[in-house]
Amino acid sequence: MSAISAVSVVVPAYNAATTIIETLETATAAAKELAEIGVAAEIVVVDDGSVDDTAAVVSATFGADARVRVFAHRRNRGGAAARNTAVEFASYEWCYCLDADNLLDAKSVRRIVEMAGTGEWDVVAPGEMRFFATTPSKPTHTWVWDREHVDTADALRMYETPVACGNYLFSVEAWQRAGGYPEFAGSLDAWGFGVRLLFAGARFGVCQDAFYAHRQGHESYWVRDNDDGRAVAAAQILLPYLDRLDPVDRKRLLGNGELLRCFAQLPERPLHLRGERPAGMSRRRIRRREK
């Protein structure tokens, strides 16, 4: 039995009518799996001003399921705002963020909750992302993290880490300490939240025998964003932490336009924490496996 008694699955959604039912079906399956170890679960959906029938589709399909609650923004405010609203409406002290186009694996969620229940972690992410275009059982490729944790140095050296995936379990207390999801960050909201968590001292674990399915090949808000927008967002995310960086890196980033270039330069030009010996480009911690 897990030391965690209840989990809120929080689902930000924008124009997700064609994907969200499949997504929520995997969330309800995960809730059933958690019930077997004595963990209650709810699902909190926040429709972020969709112009399709996202909220109506959810209500029509899951209206009889008391575990599923639906809220809506009157206008589109962005993914980070929808995530923050979902956490604010969550009933429980642990939240599992699930994007409205991705899919959970029920047994993986159980393992993640059990790992967090040891009390050793404030955040636990799945160790594997399985990318698919049409059929989840036939992923195009996977990314696998090779350690049981992620630290701040990892997030400063490369983008592709469990920090950036955004679909993971975290305590509401850690979310509060981090200041929530950065609502200015566009498609970097998940990465920005992960960076905030790490700089706030969150213990970021990775459950290596867990995965989730990541949908690709459609118009996600990463696709709708652009490199210039991400450059500005990354600069805003990192700005409060410049004094925590190695003096050489801090001096470089304060140069003419360098802070705006740093995200695009990862991992070729990694950043380093103050007191950390610069080691050049770190070994990639994610392995890509073609299917």
* Residue of higher predicted confidence among 164 and 2: 164
Residue 289 pLDDT: 55
User: What's the pLDDT band for 210 if we cut at 50, 70, 90?
Assistant: very high
Q: What are 206's strand-pairing partners? A: 125
CATH number of 6-224: 3.90.550.10
Give the integer Cα–Cα distance in Å for 248 and 227.
25
Helix (H) or strand (E) holding 89: helix 79-89
Q: What are 127's strand-pairing partners? A: none
pTM of the model: 0.92
Residues near 129 by Cβ (< 8 Å), separated by ≥ 6? 142, 143, 165, 211, 212, 214
What pLDDT, in 10s, does the model give residues 98-147?
999 999 999 999 999 999 999 999 999 999 999 999 999 999 999 999 99
What pLDDT, in 10s, does the model give residues 173-200?
999 999 999 999 999 999 999 999 999 9
What pLDDT, in 10s, does the model give residues 66-102?
999 999 999 999 999 999 999 999 999 999 999 999 9
User: Strand, coil or helix: what is 189?
Assistant: helix
Give the integer Cα–Cα distance in Å for 284 and 160.
9
